[in-house]
Every structure is written in C-alpha cells, then in structure tokens.
A and B are shown apart, each in its own frame.
Chain A
C-alpha cells in the first residue's frame, strides 16, 4: 500500500443505530483510519445520530450492540464523542446536568459520550484536515 500523508478527521453521524447503517459504516471507517495511522479528532452526533449515545439500548444478544461498540472504540483510542445538545434534548437523551436542569426522572447518556453544542462541530471542522458525514441515506 502506498504511503499516504497522515490525516485527522472529524466524523459526524446523523443516522440512528438500528434504523440506519450510518453508525456501523462510521465505525468501520474510524477503525480503518486509526489502523492506517490517521487520527480521529472527535465524533459528533447530530439529529437522529444522538441515539447512538443512549445507555438504555438493549438489542438482542445475537445482534451487534452499536452504542457499546462505539463506546469501547472511543474509550480505547481516547477520542471525544459529543452529542449535540439541541438534538439530544429533543429526542430524550440527557446527562445528569440536563436531567436536573429540566427536572427529568432519569438520565441516559452512555459514557464516554458528552453533550455539547454545535460549536464542537464548528471547531472540529476547523481543526481536522477532513470532516466526514455519515447520514441515514433516506
């Protein structure tokens, strides 16, 4: 394989697990990129993509657990995973801070994901050499 210059990536996932292929395709890309010596600066979940950060997903045991697979990958490679706060609040994905703020009965953000604003996406696209989008495709 020819030597290529090292790239840094911001990945944006807008498709939800189990209703789209987006999180799976993005993970396949991220693993290949890291294996090839490139860097993933951050993963930003937007729109329906925030469902990937749910701590309450419980797929059947013979199916891949995409939220868990992504959490392990992020932790293993110390990559920040950020769910857009506006997308997350609309869809019922909250951390303890937002649970308290909105007086909700529970929180369900899966570690190591964090909740933050679109500014994280803006900063990622400035910092990374490339920003890639993984959409639901419908």
Chain B
C-alpha cells in the first residue's frame, strides 16, 4: 500500500504542512511506502537557504532533510507550481524530483492524504 502525502500550503503560515510531514515520517517508520508531493504554494518548502530564525521557527528544509533517513521514497514537486514561484533546479534543495501532478501521477498511489 503506497501513500502520497500532499503539501499544498506555504511553509510557516500554517502548521498543517509540518503535521503532514509527521504523517509521512510516521508511515515510513512503520514500514509503509510513502512519498511526498509539494504542489501550489507548498513548493516553497523546497527552496534552498531558508532562514526562519527571524520568526522563531525552524527552517522546514531542515525537517525535510530527515526524509531519506526515515525511508521516504521520493520528494516530488509539481513542475507548474515550481515555475509559478520561480523555482528551478538551482534554487531547489537536493533530492527533489519535478513531476506533473496530474491524474496519472495520483493513480500510481493507493492512497493520497493531506494533513488539513
């Protein structure tokens, strides 16, 4: 049973993305296949060089760096959303695969879920 956890909200303004990440890590910790898909404003999670100390938060890209350790299978970013937010291979953190977030992609997973 493979699960795609989707994050479609920008980091820092809401906690739901962090809670979605915890869901993905939890699945992986229990040996359930899990991948992450960032869409819409959510692709800003994947921007290099975030400094969130000024707002009293930890940078989300540091949380994400634990994904391979937990056994998350893939970190996917919607190509169109990356273009919208001016993100390319040079401004994205490592380990991200750009994809078209369409019906064919979702059909490759048994389950999809958002945190909120």
Q: Contact residues of A with B, CB < 8 Å?
A: 12, 14-15, 46-48, 86-87, 90, 117-119, 121-123, 125-126, 131, 133, 135-136
Determine which of B1, B32, B115 lies in contact with A14 in the assembled complex, contact meaning CB atoms within 8 Å: B115
Within the complex, the shortest CB–CB distance from A119 to chain B, in Å, comes to 6
Query: Do A125 and B111 touch (CB < 8 A)?
Result: yes
Query: Do A122 and B111 touch (CB < 8 A)?
Result: no
When distances are taken between beta carbons in the complex, the residues of chain A under 8 Å from B3 are 125
Tally inter-chain residue pairs, CB-CB below 8 A: 45
Query: Do A131 and B116 touch (CB < 8 A)?
Result: no
- Measured as residues with beta carbon below 8 angstroms from the partner, the interface class of chain B is 10 to 19
- Report if A87-B32 is in contact (Cβ < 8 Å); known contacts: A14-B116, A125-B111: no
Query: Do A121 and B116 touch (CB < 8 A)?
Result: no
- Report if A126-B1 is in contact (Cβ < 8 Å); known contacts: A14-B16, A133-B113: yes
When distances are taken between beta carbons in the complex, the residues of chain B under 8 Å from A46 are 19, 23, 115-116
Q: Contact residues of B with A, CB < 8 Å?
A: 1, 3, 15-16, 19, 22-23, 26-27, 30, 32, 111, 113-116
In the complex, A133→B15 CA distance in Å?
17
Query: Do A47 and B1 touch (CB < 8 A)?
Result: no
Query: Do A122 and B32 touch (CB < 8 A)?
Result: yes
- Report if A122-B116 is in contact (Cβ < 8 Å); known contacts: A14-B16, A86-B22, A131-B111: no
Within the complex, the shortest CB–CB distance from A118 to chain B, in Å, comes to 4
Q: Which residue of A lies closest to B112 (CB)?
A: A133
Q: Which residue of B lies closest to A137 (CB)?
A: B116
Within the complex, the shortest CB–CB distance from B19 to chain A, in Å, comes to 5
When distances are taken between beta carbons in the complex, the residues of chain A under 8 Å from B19 are 14, 46-47, 86-87
When distances are taken between beta carbons in the complex, the residues of chain A under 8 Å from B26 are 117-119, 121-122
Query: Do B116 and A47 touch (CB < 8 A)?
Result: yes
In the complex, A98→B111 CA distance in Å?
33
- Report if A133-B27 is in contact (Cβ < 8 Å); known contacts: A47-B15, A126-B1: no
When distances are taken between beta carbons in the complex, the residues of chain A under 8 Å from B1 are 125-126
Query: Do A118 and B23 touch (CB < 8 A)?
Result: yes
Q: Which of B32, B113, B116 has the most CB of A within 10 A?
A: B116
Could you give 9 example pairs across A and B, Cβ below 8 Å?
A46-B19, A46-B23, A47-B15, A47-B115, A117-B26, A119-B30, A131-B113, A133-B114, A135-B116
